Amino acid sequence: MDFPTHTSAKLDETTKNLLNPDLLTNSEASAMESLDYDYIDSPLVLSEKKRLFQSSTYLMLLNVKLWVVTFLIGFITAMFGVFIDFVTNTIIKYKIILADMAYIHTQGAYWFPYIVLLSSNIILVGISSALVLWFAPAGGGSGIPEVKCYLNGIKVPEILRLRTLFVKSVGVILTVSGGLACGNEGPMIHIGSMVAAGISQGKSSTVPLVNTPVFTEFRNDHDKRDFVSGGAAAGIAGAFGAPIGGTLFSLEEGSSFWNQALTWRTFFCAVVAGFTLNTFLSGVRTHNWSPDDTSPSFQITDTSPTYSIPHVPFFILIGALGGILGSIFNQLNKLLMQFRKRINRMKIFRWLEALIIAGITATISFSVCYLAPGCVSIGNSTSTDDITFRDVGWYCGPGEKNQMAALFLGSGELSVKSLFNDNTFMSHTLLIYAVLYYLLSLITLGIAAPSGLLVPCLAVGGAYGRLIGQWLQPIMSDVNVHTFALVGAASFLGGTARMTISLCVILIETTGSVQRGLPIMVTLMVAKWVGDYFIHGIYDIHIELKKIPLLEWDPDHEMSDVRAEEIMADHVIWLYDVEKVLKIHTILQKTTHNGYPIISKDEVFQGLILRSQLVTLLYKRAFQNSKAPEEIPLVDLSEFSKYYPRSPGIESVQIYREDEDKFIDLRPYMNRTPYVIHNNATVERVFRLFRTMGLRHLPVINEKARIVGMITRRDLYNFQAKRNKNKLDRARKRRKSPNIEDVQYIEGQHSLNGISESTKLLSD
Amino acid sequence: MDFPTHTSAKLDETTKNLLNPDLLTNSEASAMESLDYDYIDSPLVLSEKKRLFQSSTYLMLLNVKLWVVTFLIGFITAMFGVFIDFVTNTIIKYKIILADMAYIHTQGAYWFPYIVLLSSNIILVGISSALVLWFAPAGGGSGIPEVKCYLNGIKVPEILRLRTLFVKSVGVILTVSGGLACGNEGPMIHIGSMVAAGISQGKSSTVPLVNTPVFTEFRNDHDKRDFVSGGAAAGIAGAFGAPIGGTLFSLEEGSSFWNQALTWRTFFCAVVAGFTLNTFLSGVRTHNWSPDDTSPSFQITDTSPTYSIPHVPFFILIGALGGILGSIFNQLNKLLMQFRKRINRMKIFRWLEALIIAGITATISFSVCYLAPGCVSIGNSTSTDDITFRDVGWYCGPGEKNQMAALFLGSGELSVKSLFNDNTFMSHTLLIYAVLYYLLSLITLGIAAPSGLLVPCLAVGGAYGRLIGQWLQPIMSDVNVHTFALVGAASFLGGTARMTISLCVILIETTGSVQRGLPIMVTLMVAKWVGDYFIHGIYDIHIELKKIPLLEWDPDHEMSDVRAEEIMADHVIWLYDVEKVLKIHTILQKTTHNGYPIISKDEVFQGLILRSQLVTLLYKRAFQNSKAPEEIPLVDLSEFSKYYPRSPGIESVQIYREDEDKFIDLRPYMNRTPYVIHNNATVERVFRLFRTMGLRHLPVINEKARIVGMITRRDLYNFQAKRNKNKLDRARKRRKSPNIEDVQYIEGQHSLNGISESTKLLSD
């Protein structure tokens, strides 16, 4: 099945010219496919729906399944949270007992406890990083950028695999207990999403044995994405115990295409997770099994007046400071990531990097505890740090405690809790901690191991917020340092991550401090405003670095001045509604598109068919000898979702020579009424339709109902990318593609010359 | 300009046959127009946008205005809240001082204090009701149903007027201080919406003098609706001090068409309102001007363990009870409303009804305080009820207080606070209060005066929740009656109103009790599930009774089996892109549609134009003698929004005989690229597009790009209404409209015979 060389070359050239080095390339784009969130309204699907929906038993059963799956997602995600929390704290505890013994053994020397901590941290982080690098690369980092993208409508490869779930949950335990400047909250969001995907699909690509046919109804992009929304919310509920914040996170990230019923389900999922977490954590910790015993993660117990009007300007200033510090953090991390990308070509380098960072973190942490212990009387500290260096003094006098060690060597969660709650902190302790932890978080973010940014941000912000509060105390009356610590934490997290409402609610829920809601909100808003002036949020930066075509929430002003036809791909490759087998096969081999418009004999747009559907039709040999329609569709609906989420590639399909001239009637399978847009519509309108409906392909139609182009996520993303680079004029030039001579242009209809010729050659 | 009688009659008949007595009638529908949320992408608008957006000063100024308006909405709404709170409490205080004096004067007799209370209550309610009935009928009730409808995309007449704002805010003070079983929270949401509409428009239809040209950019349905979302949120923030809950309320009700930037603005608006309220309330109450001094409205100060696992089944049972009691409440209120509608034809009857209900409420309240005082030691009561019958004993012994009087005769807010916080309640007090207040709320809801349902629901639910808690105390250890009171309140409010996430957050914010978040959520979910099994939420019931075509959030299963062409209005009245003046005038006179499709000479769909645009074009005499396009559009863009939100009626336009044969070129003014749908698309798809994009008119196009029908809110609403009545098959029959012979059917193009004939007659 060789093509004549010249047409093949021509075709390649055509394809090449569609690309622009600045922009997404085809191969990148095909690795990051969009979700098929829109329903396929094909006659086959609709008649099946009609049949099923007539049975009220079916509808009831579907509903029951929906809620059972949602419940399970919440429950199991929270169990992951309980497990991770328990094991992490246990490892840290024994690690510190070891170090305590070394300290006692050497009677307060530096080197022995240091060696113990250094080696144990390097081992823990080394295993975690190795797991990620050689077993499941998608398990690295926090996973929030990937979940954001998924909710935004993009399939990022591998992120929802069982294998990734395993690595992420084991890895995050090792990384956090390995003393790195990171937390488990981000990974928990990812874990929740993976649990949701796994349970709702009832099967695993990693372990083929796991395959229950109970939930086959949910094996499609639409339902899977909806469950993942719930899972992400459950992840936050299972990490922070913040179900409302979790629901809002999913809503904030996924609200471009959303519906009200989904809010309700997501909320239920998060409530189940929150309830399970509280109950089991209290059981594990206090053997009391009472959900109320577990106070919110970072509960602020202080009950004095929280703030007064004269403090508000300082909150605003702290918000601005958070915006600036966050922007610097983001910019530095961006440069670091770019540097990493250039030098870390081999996995072993990435692994060594993780080890080195673990070593640096351990060395700096320990040295600071030794050199600037910040000894305070034990009575002034909260009881939350009882697993840290309390009993042995650690370079402090009797009855004193090394507060620096409590901050640096315990878990990040405990540091935040102590920053929010402890009565005394020396200023220099806070200053040193804030600066060093800022730098450590900076280098940790982006290593090849599961690691979350939320807790480090709270710790850094909490430290400088509290410091500012302490500085203000002599000047102003009634300064509440706990409030200032919380405000600082909000400002820095807001300045880096830029989540707004969800973050605000998460902080309120986790601190149990509704009274401080208004200061948090004000600070967050200022931090976001200031930060947005300089640079994007950290998650968006990582998404950009990974070249994932995330679409923004809203259209820009410039979009009202550009038309659909100026950004669309105008080399449309279409099929007839009854099409020759060979032509379909050739087109699938020669192009990488995922959707093909279908036209009738008189060239009127008829509908849209997906690549995966076409491959299935070829694979199942749904061939007929004449063009006349068959009474019954030749392929059953279930065949199309059989291999979901993967679909067989075209290379797996073999066409026999005697089949080449046969036909496939595409009409029963295609989406006959996709949303379409007029070629003259503004890009703003295109954007709204595309985003709000969660589309993957948007056919562009002219006045006479002829298809003249296709718009995909890539076109909109490239438009936004170019605008960001002030290259708007280039977007316009694209329409006059230099290879227009390759394309036969007849009255609003495009045909790809190469393909139709080669098809003719072969079929002749 | 008389039409020959026969065509006119025919036309009327045609129109009549589109209607169905069960369904919305034309006149009802035209009183409840949809918002034009979608942008008009006409050449005129786009070129103006292009011109404006090139100026970065303009964009910056626009942005500044946007945030200034948002700030002002939050601030002023909260000031309304402060004012209402302060005046209401002052009136109640003096009323009770009067009654106290009467009590002391008669040395504990029944009749004198009763007469004082009765007469003052009747006077207060009488004024309030008279204001509503004779000055601004849209000011009655809570206003939540109307705000819901507005956010849903429906213009309900009069609800955003300055006059309504005045009546609502004065009226709610009088009603609440008049002792009725109602609160001011619902009206505050309405007040916030009105403030938002007023400020963003910068003019008033009630007082023409109020007309500032600063914010003319926002004089369109899109921006106005977005500001109202913020205002509603600010209303909740300004009533409860719950900014996050307020934002979620707007999001929950308006999220079918929403964007992320709007979340951010709504949140800002609510935060400003919350901050303002707390600051000024603390200033007014304690002269301290510290936002933290004002604890959340219903703060629960109890700090003992809030709940444990064995209580959870009881929370679920209370949730179910709330669902059942709420459903009964809704059903009874529905019957009452229907009864009211039948008998209360004259305003005076409605006024007398309000007076009678005020009398009944005063009589029952006072009699109960006299007959079953529920005397408790003052020490066991919270200090929040210091304006009630504390000093004089009121039928109780010395050192005791009449708790029934505190519940019944103070404001609803104080009752809720005391139910959530007081240490002692006699069981019979709670039982009597719950039953009587349930009945009083039931008859109060729907009277002709501003009155909110939220607080009475909390009070009733709080009473029975607490009662159940007290009953359980001997059986179970560690029962926290405060938690049970809160759970009961959540259950009953959830069972009547059926708001979920927003209500949950509102309760958490107002009680300051994050620990009780999970019980509240569980209870609310159960209450909603149980309630939804029986009957709609109370707001939806009132919306149905008012025949407002509220569309549901999500499509139903049945919609996937019906096609657009089966529900569309197929008597399409179209215009040519260059159309005769007389024809336009005639069509506007003879039809009530608000949007008209435009076709070209070769009958291809070209775009959509609104009635208001056509009237303006006629009014401004944008006439030309030939069909050739003019260089410059004849009417300026600003003319079209000049009279917003009203537009001049067609009856105000006079066409001279010499103009009748002239033409209007509609192309510069029409929306050239509206969203369209294929006639074969499922109603599910139609519904999604219509709802998500906030459409008003959806042209239905066939394969050949010919217009074959129009779908409006009414069609979708009627489809849902019919489905609810199991009359699905009737929906299908509609397509074969009996009057099809009136319509000339040529290849996918409809022309209204009557009109084209009559036009011909006249123009000849």
Question: pLDDT tens digit string along B445-460?
Answer: 989 999 999 999 999 9
Mutate to test the interface with B, among A44, A521, A604, A701 (most CBs of B within 10 A): A521
- Residues A700, A597 share a domain: yes
What the block records as the tokens of A305 is 């007046």
Query: Which residue among A50, A296, A307 sits closest to B561, beta carbon to beta carbon?
Result: A50
pLDDT in tens, B475-520: 887 888 999 999 999 999 999 998 878 888 899 888 888 778 888 9
Query: Which residue among A296, A521, A561 sits closest to B243, beta carbon to beta carbon?
Result: A521
Note if the bond before B456 is cis, omega within 30 degrees.
Answer: no
- Contacts of residue A554, defined as CB under 8 A and 6 or more positions apart, other chains included, come to B259, B260, B261
Q: Which domain holds residue A533?
A: 310-545
Q: CA-CA distance, A81 to B206, in Å (whole number)?
A: 58
- Set of chain A residues whose Cβ sits within 8 Å of the Cβ of B508: 244, 514
Ramachandran class of A477: left when φ > 0, alpha when ψ lies in -120 to 50, beta otherwise: beta
CA A263, chain centre distance (Å): 19
- Residues A380, A360 share a domain: yes
Torsion from C-alpha of B64, B65, B71, B72, nearest 10 degrees:
150
Any domain includes B19? yes
For tokens 């394969």, the residue is B703
Any domain includes A532? yes
How far apart are the CA of A604 and the nearest CA of chain B, in angstroms? 7
Residue A499 contacts residue A189 (beta carbons within 8 Å): no
Query: Which residue among B260, B501, B553 sits closest to A554, beta carbon to beta carbon?
Result: B260
- Residues A178, A251 share a domain: yes
Inspect the interface and report whether the beta carbons of B672 and A680 lie closer than 8 Å: yes
- Contacts of residue A86, defined as CB under 8 A and 6 or more positions apart, other chains included, come to A284
Q: CA-CA distance, A460 to A440, in Å (whole number)?
A: 10
Give A531-567 as a DSSP string: HHHH---HHHHHHHHTT--PPPSS--GGGGGSBHHHH
Q: CA-CA distance, B58 to B67, in Å (whole number)?
A: 14
Residue A731 contacts residue A722 (beta carbons within 8 Å): yes
Helices (H) and strands (E) counted in chain A, each on its own, are 29, 14
Inspect the interface and report whether the beta carbons of B264 and A500 lie closer than 8 Å: yes
Per-residue confidence at B732, pLDDT binned at 50, 70, 90? very low
The whole-number average pLDDT for the span B531-544 is 91
Query: Which residue among A264, A680, A682 sits closest to B500, beta carbon to beta carbon?
Result: A264
- Set of chain A residues whose Cβ sits within 8 Å of the Cβ of B43: none
pLDDT of amino acid A31: 57
How far apart are the CA of A306 and the nearest CA of chain B, in angstroms? 6
Three-state SS annotation for B582-606 = HHHHHHHHHCCCCEEEEECCCCCEE
Residue B296 contacts residue B513 (beta carbons within 8 Å): no
Ramachandran angles phi, psi of B685, nearest 5°: -65, -40
CA-based max dimension of chain A: 96
Inspect the interface and report whether the beta carbons of B275 and A39 lie closer than 8 Å: no
Mutate to test the interface with A, among B46, B678, B747 (most CBs of A within 10 A): B678
Q: Say whether A199 sits in a helix, a strand or coil.
A: helix
- Residues B740, B703 share a domain: yes
How far apart are the CA of B288 and the nearest CA of chain A, in angstroms? 9
Query: Which residue among A243, A295, A514 sits closest to B509, beta carbon to beta carbon?
Result: A514
Into how many domains does chain B fold? Answer: 2
- Residue B732 CB neighbour total at 10 angstroms: 14
pLDDT of amino acid B329: 97
Note if the bond before A187 is cis, omega within 30 degrees.
Answer: no
- List the single residue in A with minimal CA-CA distance to B519: A275
Inspect the interface and report whether the beta carbons of A517 and B243 lie closer than 8 Å: yes
- Residues A605, A691 share a domain: yes
CATH number at residue B463: 1.10.3080.10
Least confidently predicted of B17-31, B199-213, B310-324, B344-358? B17-31
Is the per-residue pLDDT at B286 higher than 80?
A: no
- List the single residue in B with minimal CA-CA distance to A52: B557
Q: Say whether A1 sits in a helix, a strand or coil.
A: coil
Q: CA-CA distance, A273 to A81, in Å (whole number)?
A: 9
- Residues B561, B540 share a domain: no
- List the single residue in B with minimal CA-CA distance to A599: B703
How far apart are the CA of A546 and the nearest CA of chain B, in angstroms? 24
Q: Single out the residue of A696, A616, A678 nearest to residue A653, CA to CA.
A: A616
Query: Which residue among A292, A682, A703 sits closest to B305, beta carbon to beta carbon?
Result: A292
The whole-number average pLDDT for the span B628-643 is 77
Residue B427 contacts residue B446 (beta carbons within 8 Å): no
Pairing mode, strands A595-599 and A578-580: unpaired
Mutate to test the interface with B, among A55, A260, A708 (most CBs of B within 10 A): A260
Inspect the interface and report whether the beta carbons of A291 and B274 lie closer than 8 Å: no
HSE-CB at A246 with a 13 A cutoff on CA atoms is: 38
Residue A226 contacts residue A70 (beta carbons within 8 Å): no
Ramachandran angles phi, psi of A640, nearest 5°: -75, -25
CA angle A95, A101, A104 (to 5 degrees): 140
Residue B298 contacts residue B510 (beta carbons within 8 Å): yes
- Residue B401 CB neighbour total at 10 angstroms: 26
Is the per-residue pLDDT at B369 higher than 60?
A: yes
How far apart are the CA of A206 and the nearest CA of chain B, in angstroms? 35
Residue A354 contacts residue A449 (beta carbons within 8 Å): yes
How far apart are the CA of A512 and the nearest CA of chain B, in angstroms? 5
Any domain includes B173? no
Per-residue confidence at B730, pLDDT binned at 50, 70, 90? very low
- Residue B56 CB neighbour total at 10 angstroms: 8
How far apart are the CA of B257 and the nearest CA of chain A, in angstroms? 9
Which of B492, B522, B545 lies at the terminal end of a domain, its last residue? B545
The DSSP code for B141 is B
Q: CA-CA distance, A380 to A117, in Å (whole number)?
A: 27
Q: Regarding predicted confidence, which is higher, B334 or B693?
A: B334
- Residues B679, B619 share a domain: yes
CA distances from B702 to A704, B575, B604 (A): 11, 18, 10
Q: CA-CA distance, B192 to B239, in Å (whole number)?
A: 10
CA-based max dimension of chain B: 96
Q: CA-CA distance, A736 to A49, in Å (whole number)?
A: 44
- Residues B588, B523 share a domain: no
How far apart are the CA of B169 and the nearest CA of chain A, in angstroms? 26
- List the single residue in B with minimal CA-CA distance to A509: B514
Residue B476 contacts residue B260 (beta carbons within 8 Å): no
- Residues B476, B526 share a domain: yes
Report residues of chain A scoring pLDDT below 70.
1-32, 205-206, 209, 255-257, 292-296, 344, 379-393, 722-764
Per-residue confidence at B269, pLDDT binned at 50, 70, 90? very high
Q: Regarding predicted confidence, which is higher, A496 or B402?
A: A496
Inspect the interface and report whether the beta carbons of B675 and A682 lie closer than 8 Å: no
pLDDT in tens, B171-185: 999 999 999 999 888
The kind and range of the H/E element at A76 are helix A56-105
Q: How many residues does chain B have?
A: 764
ipTM, two decimals? 0.84
Q: Residue B458 is which amino acid? A: L
Q: Say whether B184 sits in a helix, a strand or coil.
A: coil
Q: CA-CA distance, A375 to A656, in Å (whole number)?
A: 82
The DSSP code for A628 is S
The whole-number average pLDDT for the span B556-560 is 83
- Residues A623, A656 share a domain: yes
- Set of chain B residues whose Cβ sits within 8 Å of the Cβ of A289: 309
pLDDT of amino acid B655: 86
For tokens 């009928």, the residue is B137
- List the single residue in B with minimal CA-CA distance to A606: B703
Any domain includes A36? no
Is the per-residue pLDDT at B5 higher than 50?
A: no
A732-764 b/e with 16+ CB inside 10 Å = b? eebeebeeeebbeeeeebbbbbbbbbbbeebee
The whole-number average pLDDT for the span B368-390 is 66
pLDDT of amino acid B167: 94
How far apart are the CA of B380 and the nearest CA of chain A, in angstroms? 23
Inspect the interface and report whether the beta carbons of B309 and A296 lie closer than 8 Å: no
Q: Is the dihedral of CA A297, A302, A303, A308 positive or negative?
A: negative
- Set of chain B residues whose Cβ sits within 8 Å of the Cβ of A527: none
Any domain includes A600? yes
For tokens 């605000």, the residue is A504
Q: CA-CA distance, B453 to B456, in Å (whole number)?
A: 6
Q: Please, is A26 exposed, middle or buried when counting C-beta atoms within 10 Å of its C-beta (0-12, 13-18, 19+)?
A: middle
Q: CA-CA distance, A602 to A286, in Å (whole number)?
A: 75
Inspect the interface and report whether the beta carbons of B49 and A560 lie closer than 8 Å: yes
The kind and range of the H/E element at A758 are helix A753-763
pLDDT of amino acid A295: 65
Any domain includes A697? yes
Q: CA-CA distance, B254 to B266, in Å (whole number)?
A: 12
- Residues A83, A13 share a domain: no
Give B663-696 as a DSSP string: EEE-TTTSBSS---EETTSBHHHHHHHHHHHT-S
Alpha helix locations (H) across B180-307? Answer: 185-201, 221-240, 243-254, 260-286
Any domain includes A77? yes
- Set of chain A residues whose Cβ sits within 8 Å of the Cβ of B560: 41, 46, 49-50, 53
pLDDT of amino acid B292: 67
CATH number at residue B646: 3.10.580.10
What the block records as the tokens of A297 is 């993660």
Is the per-residue pLDDT at B636 higher than 90?
A: no
For tokens 């009007």, the residue is A309
Q: CA-CA distance, B674 to A680, in Å (whole number)?
A: 10
DSSP3 helix / strand / coil % (chain A, rounded to 5): 60, 10, 30
Highest mean pLDDT among A23-27, B410-414, B598-602: B598-602
pLDDT of amino acid B746: 29
- Contacts of residue A109, defined as CB under 8 A and 6 or more positions apart, other chains included, come to A103
Q: How many residue contacts between A and B have a Cβ separation below 8 Å? A: 225
Which of A545, A566, A587 lies at the terminal end of a domain, its last residue? A545
Which of B493, B514, B545 lies at the terminal end of a domain, its last residue? B545
Is the per-residue pLDDT at B357 higher than 90?
A: yes
Mutate to test the interface with A, among B267, B300, B482, B673 (most CBs of A within 10 A): B673
The DSSP code for B400 is E
- Residues B522, B436 share a domain: yes
The whole-number average pLDDT for the span B328-340 is 94
How far apart are the CA of B520 and the nearest CA of chain A, in angstroms? 10
Query: Which residue among A501, A604, A685 sits closest to B41, beta carbon to beta carbon?
Result: A685
Query: Which residue among B295, B308, B703 sits closest to A290, beta carbon to beta carbon?
Result: B308
pLDDT in tens, A251-306: 887 766 677 778 888 988 998 999 899 888 888 877 777 776 566 678 888 777 78
How far apart are the CA of A514 and the nearest CA of chain B, in angstroms? 5
- Set of chain B residues whose Cβ sits within 8 Å of the Cβ of A675: 675, 685, 689
Per-residue confidence at B303, pLDDT binned at 50, 70, 90? confident
Any domain includes A62? no
pLDDT of amino acid A392: 58
Q: CA-CA distance, A26 to A726, in Å (whole number)?
A: 23
Q: Is the dihedral of CA B9, B10, B15, B18 positive or negative?
A: positive
